[in-house]
Amino acid sequence: MSQPPSTDVEATDRRILELLAVDGRMSFTHLGRSTGLSTSAVHQRVKRLEARGLIKGYGATVDHDQLGLPLTAFISIRPIDPSQPDDSPERLRDIPEIESCWSVAGDESYILKIRVAAPTDLEDLLARIRSAANVATRTTIVLSTPYENRPVV
């Protein structure tokens, strides 16, 4: 019986994933030094990890405060009329303040992570979300973020 891909990762590949999770721009040379592999061997392994879907992409960690978006909140949504189609993610897809959308179990259907400049912007965003998706909302404002997006490999 085969295991899911996330548990079927050899130790060297797991180490490469750990290193890239901390620094996605790490060179193949540095990865090789850190794992005891040649640069070409590391390159082949990274390409294989990408092909298998274990590496989904690379990105920058952005300072949202410096971008003028210091207010982070989580908005839980649930349909006002549960008999309607479950299409909230599609209805909300083009709202740029929504950073993430998770389907969840419980009283709510989805949790949205949003970033805005000020409480008045949050108030406006809530009205737009309610109108676009015909949902009720419950909002939790983030006071501080001791850590975020920690590597989990």
| pLDDT (0 to 100) of residue 6 | 47
* Contact predicate 69/121, CB 8 Å: no
User: Which residues lie closer than 8 Å to 145 by C-beta, 6 or more apart?
Assistant: 72
pTM over 0.75: yes
Contacts 24+ apart (CB under 8 A), 57-64: 58/20, 58/24, 58/25, 59/24, 61/149, 64/115
Mean of pLDDT values over 36-59: 95
Which H/E stretch holds residue 112? strand 110-116
Fold of the 11-52 domain: Arc Repressor Mutant, subunit A (1.10.10)
**Statement: residue 35 has pLDDT above 80:** yes
**Statement: residue 57 has pLDDT above 50:** yes
Distance CA(43)–CA(47), nearest Å, equals 6
Name the burial class of residue 57, with classes exposed (0-12), middle (13-18) and buried (19+) by CB atoms within 10 angstroms of its CB.
Answer: exposed
**Domain spans of the chain?**
11-52, 65-141
The dotted CATH code for 65-141 is: 3.30.70.920
